[in-house]
Structure 1
């Protein structure tokens, strides 16, 4: 491989093409330790970015990507770490690689791009020895007929990235770590400064929050956490799995992001009231409604997801009537006193735990989902009695899926009014209450002290009342 005087790899030209050295067949070579994990990460990254495939589905232990399922647990953990880092920081990784190339990679060289991205994610953001990341990336290139002629380029670029890591990180720190389309949406909704703060906050992995049946202060002490303004508890770092923690087997609490715990609390007391949870699985909000005193009917159109809800409620020793149903067509025999509609959405507020979302969704998805949410909300309002409440919520950061949906419904619905949420009822989250009395959280909110992760999911919630 030929380098310029400044150490940059020269662009590949046909006049410098050499015949690849003869290599033994794949089956005859002994695979290097860690090779399968890196190769799998590159394949899954391609599926997410190029084919818009959900990361969760490919990392499912039973039905996921076959190459991933064939790995041992340590290698699976490495694949997850590589993919999460790569997807969170992808615009910055792209900028870092571009700064070391004299010219862009050949058009259509997507496999090469993903291979370099996997290597760069390890060097820049993971505690992986640089030589391992480089050597295994070069091995990947050599074993892929599409990339074999670029093995020298891979070696040169990634070795230089390792040598200049700190300088590169400083150069790319100002690059928003989100796709262009999304940072533009954030700027339009929140302004430039807030948009950049949200983009930066999404780089941090989500904290572990739990909702407790009672005695939040006591459980915070037992589990080394802090009580949040939402009434839940945020845990500090801990070793071992969540099921090993005190209180899990006894059903004293469940895992639920702080923001996800807000919508159900907006009803206040539900004692003596019939409540329907319209998109109920996996059941965290259903459990909250039960604990608030409601007689709850939980709907979900997926029998599999509803089974998971029932299993979760059984561990918590809570009961609800469950029903497999399409809520858009659901007609109860008797109207309810309250309805919770946590509507399907683009999930752009959850990228701290689902960093693939911004690469598998786009504006067309947001527009389509916003129209669907509006239809669901209009239907939900027909399921409650006059005077009944509907809480509409979702985990999107885009106002098109939140504020705009509510505004359109209120604009042409004579029998519906907004019930403003009062900021004074939410100390610590006053900034999340809009002038109209709607809830809007972002990952940049909820700063906490040292040792406890800050932030929460992006969520929207509004309370509507049917007046007649």
Structure 2
């Protein structure tokens, strides 16, 4: 049970202010210690409430608009949004209304508005729970929705929005021979655990039998098909899911990432799972060496991960994507120099934008006479042939597997170097 629901709610409002007002990602806020003072239970509750509010914010705003003459200050608005989402998710009305009134009442800046919060949320409590399920599935912002419709069509984007609104179950990758802590085996080999609760308390976690990794994120290493003893470079390796897959297959792995702090997670994960890799902090564009295989999970817009990170469309506006696309092309060019003749490179991004996937490979292939897209390597178990793309890559999308709970958006290409 939560020790202090009001503290968790207050922290949720702070996180919403940071994301919606300052354009910060939830992960940045958490790294900066936004929830460090809370108990583990309240920390989990604050994160869950933040994600639920962001997923449902369009519906909450539509309900609130009927009761507000003008848009209030952001903190008050976020208090009302959180209260609305909790009420429409079936929380007891008196508990929610009293908590929100108390939070605003204690604020020097907003205390005089506690009567407004009380009145509005009482109206929402009366009508919101019936209206909520009849409202449309929340949409992506236009800056992202428009290019996605241009790429995949409106029906596909509606399916993606449905997947984003539903959120993401917990997917795990098992070490060879390990037991899953319950759950359902997916067509690609990952295991999906519903209602997982606190991850670290699941059986096999402390023993290092498995790690958390979305089913789509596990596909690139399956495509790479590392062999025991092969020298493999994992570029942009943090937080380490793919590094662990490579190490578990018996490859001789070098995990490289520019962020020393993010590499701490890689080292922790390797230690917990009893797997080994050489972990190196460094710039991918300056790395030297020759490898049998290179995995490049390039920095990208992360638009494929919105079902797990609903803060992303609110914290970003697409303005940095041009720089990322240029960086991906540079990284792909440099990574190709690290592949031995006869070796292979798997390029992937957790993006839904073709400019970060399909277009990168389309433009690279004519530039390198010794580069060939290996379509056959992409047909790992569970991958549908219709997911393969014209230039020879693999496109994974959140609207795939709707009956199983969807998957992250990913692009994967396997590039062979002639001997």
**TM-score by structure 1 length?**
0.81
- State whether structure 2 residue 188 is matched by structure 1 residue 230: yes
Q: Which residue of 1 aligns with 2:343?
A: 388
Correspondence for 2:164 among 202, 205, 216: 202
Could you tell me which residue of structure 1 aligns to residue 175 of structure 2?
A: 213
Equivalent runs, 1:413-452 vs 2, <5 Å:
413-421=368-376, 425-427=380-382, 429-448=384-403
For 1:398 and 1:137, locate their aligned partners in 2 and report how far apart those are by CA, in whole Å: 39
**RMSD over equivalenced CA pairs, Å:** 2.5
Aligned equivalent of 1:256: 213
Describe the SS at the equivalent of 2:275: coil
Correspondence list, 1:167-182, <5 A: 167-171=130-134, 173-182=135-144
Shift of residue 57, structure 1, vs aligned partner:
3.2
1:161 to 120, 124, 129: 124
Which of the numbers 242, 252, 260 marks the counterpart of 1:295?
252
The answer to whether structure 1 residue 45 and structure 2 residue 7 are counterparts is no
The 1:277–1:70 alpha-carbon spacing in structure 2 relative to 1, beyond 3 Å, is: closer
**Given the superposition, is the C-alpha separation of residues 140 and 314 from structure 1 closer, same or farther in structure 2, using an over 3 Å criterion?**
closer
Do 2:63 and 2:128's aligned partners in 1 also have CA atoms closer than 8 Å? no
Deviation at 1:264, TM superposition (A): 0.8
Q: 1:456 to 1:98 in 2, by over 3 A?
A: same
Mean alpha-carbon deviation: is it higher for 72-81 or for 223-232?
72-81
Partner of 2:300: 345
**CA offsets per residue over residues 234-264 of structure 1, 9 Å max, x none?**
224456x434444334433222211111001
SS at match of 2:166: coil
SS of the residue corresponding to residue 322 of structure 2 reads helix
1:175: how far off?
A: 4.8
Structure 1 segments unaligned to the other structure (5+ residues) = 1-32
Q: What residue ranges of structure 2 are gaps of 5+ in the alignment? A: none
Alignment size in residue pairs: 416
Structure 1 pair 443–34 and aligned structure 2 pair: CA distance change class (3 A): same
Check if 1:320 corresponds to 2:286: no
| 3-state SS, counterpart of residue 189 of structure 2 | coil
Distance 1:319 1:59 in 2: 28
Equivalent of 2:27 in 56, 77, 87:
56
Match of 1:87 among 31, 34, 54: 54
Q: Do the aligned residues in 2 keep the contact of 1:422 with 1:437 (CA within 8 Å)?
A: no
TM-superposition CA deviations, 1:360-395 (whole Å, max 9, x none): 122112222122111111111111122321111121
Check the 8 A contact 1:89/1:177 in 2, yes or no.
no
Quick one: distance in 1 between partners of 2:239 and 2:343?
Answer: 25
TM-score by length of 2: 0.90
Distance across 1 between alignment mates of 2:131 and 2:213: 37
Q: How far off its partner does 1:297 sit? A: 1.6
For 1:20, the equivalent position in structure 2 comes to: none
Corresponding residue number in structure 2 for 1:76 = 43
Question: Is the CA contact (8 Å cut-off) linking 1:421 and 1:463 kept in structure 2?
Answer: no
Which of 294, 306, 311 is equivalent to 1:356?
A: 311
- Work out the CA distance in 2 between the residues paired with 1:157 and 1:300: 49
SS state of the match for residue 341, structure 1? strand
Report if the CA contact (8 A) 1:88-1:177 is conserved: no
| Cα deviation, residue 421, structure 1 | 4.2
- Shift of residue 423 of structure 1? 6.8
Deviations 1:8-32 (A, max 9, x none): xxxxxxxxxxxxxxxxxxxxxxxxx
Q: CA deviation at 1:425?
A: 4.0
Aligned to 1:104: 70
CA distance in 2, matches of 1:429, 1:326: 35
Q: How does 1:117-156 map to 2 (within 5 A)?
A: 117-125=81-89, 127-156=90-119
Structure 2 residue aligned with 1:114: 78
Asked if 2 retains the 8 angstrom alpha-carbon contact of 1:254 and 1:284, the reply is yes
5 Å-filtered alignment, 1:326-341, equals 326-332=283-289, 335-341=290-296
Residue of structure 2 in register with 1:457 after alignment: 408
SS of residue in 1 equivalent to 2:280: strand
Alpha-carbon shift at residue 283 of structure 1 (Å): 2.1
SS in 2 for 1:100: coil
Counterpart CA distance in 2 for 1:423 and 1:302 is: 30
Structure exhibiting the larger radius of gyration computed from Cα positions: 1
Q: Which whole-Å CA distance do the structure 1 matches of 2:37 and 2:239 have between them?
A: 28
Shift in Å at residue 167 of structure 1? Answer: 4.1
